[in-house]
Amino acid sequence: MDPLKHASVPLLAFLAISKSPSLASVAVLVFGAIFPDFDVLFEEHRGYFHSILFLIPLFAVSLYVQNIYLWLFVFGVGMHFFLDFFSGVIPFLYPVRKKGFEVKVSGIVIFESSPRINIKYEILVGYPTKSRGSYVGLSNESLAMALVALIALLFRLKFSSL
Ligand SMILES: [Zn+2]
């Protein structure tokens, strides 16, 4: 998943639940949401910063420190994990264990006759990929999503009392 999607989805979620978002809070959230992909600077992408061995201590520190900006950073990192789990392998115990998992949803069926939803999915196993030293891959849909998030942000900053 590219950085625009990683930034846009948590931003839209935050804008939906925040009473009065500030530019500083949004900046910290977005930084947290894209931070795990800085592990492209290491040997393998989806490595150190895509591991619960990184997330759990970070989460524990945020509980201890109780700072809203650290919580937003952790929320961004957590959202990154969640989104990546649907778009590739997450090696939860990296570097202790490089084997990771990914969920592939192959279909969602909503039955008209009864209020029932059937989700077809499978859990795939894989490994982190070698880092190519760069992280690019923006698409038109990513740009559109980022523009929607930006418009929502500008609207919320302008009319924060709504
Ligand atoms: Zn990632």
Q: What is the pLDDT of residues 91-110, one digit of tens each?
A: 999 999 999 999 999 999 88
Q: How far is the CA of 62 from the centre of ligand 1 (A)?
A: 21
**How far is Cα 159 from Cα 150, in angstroms, rounded to an integer?**
14
The pocket of ion ligand 1, defined by CB under 5 A, consists of 36-37, 84
Q: How far is the CA of 86 from the centre of ligand 1 (A)?
A: 11
DSSP 131: P
What is the rounded average pLDDT for all residues in the chain?
90
**How far is Cα 74 from Cα 36, in angstroms, rounded to an integer?**
11
Percent of all residues in the chain with a pLDDT value above 90, rounded to a whole number: 70
Query: Angle of helix 3-17 relative to helix 23-34, nearest 10 degrees?
Result: 140
* 104 within some domain: no
Reported confidence tier of residue 139, pLDDT bands at 50, 70, 90: confident
Q: How far is the CA of 92 from the centre of ligand 1 (A)?
A: 12
Q: How far is the CA of 79 from the centre of ligand 1 (A)?
A: 10
Centre a 10 Å sphere on the Cβ of residue 49 and count the other Cβ atoms it contains: 22
* 137 within some domain: yes
Q: How far is the CA of 68 from the centre of ligand 1 (A)?
A: 23
Q: How far is the CA of 60 from the centre of ligand 1 (A)?
A: 21
**Average of per-residue pLDDT across 16-28:** 94
Looking at this protein, which amino acid is placed at residue 55? Answer: L
**How far is Cα 67 from Cα 150, in angstroms, rounded to an integer?**
25
Length of the chain: 162
Q: Could you tell me which residues come within 8 angstroms of residue 3 by beta carbon, excluding any fewer than 6 positions away?
A: 34, 37, 135, 138
* 39 within some domain: yes
Q: How far is the CA of 6 from the centre of ligand 1 (A)?
A: 8
Q: How far is the CA of 80 from the centre of ligand 1 (A)?
A: 6
Q: How far is the CA of 99 from the centre of ligand 1 (A)?
A: 16
* 150 within some domain: yes
Q: How far is the CA of 50 from the centre of ligand 1 (A)?
A: 7
Global pTM reads 0.87
Residues 103 and 5: beta-carbon distance below 8 Å: no
pLDDT score, position 159? 84
* 142 within some domain: yes
* 31 within some domain: yes
Q: How far is the CA of 1 from the centre of ligand 1 (A)?
A: 7
Is the model's pLDDT at 74 over the cut of 90? yes
* 103 within some domain: no
Can you give the residue range of the structural domain that contains 70?
A: 3-98+129-158
Is the model's pLDDT at 23 over the cut of 70? yes
**Average of per-residue pLDDT across 66-75:** 96
Looking at the structure of the chain, the number of domains it has is 1
* 118 within some domain: no
Tokens at residue 75, please?
Answer: 């929320």
Reported confidence tier of residue 134, pLDDT bands at 50, 70, 90: low
pLDDT tens digit sequence for 30-60: 999 999 999 888 888 888 999 999 999 999 9
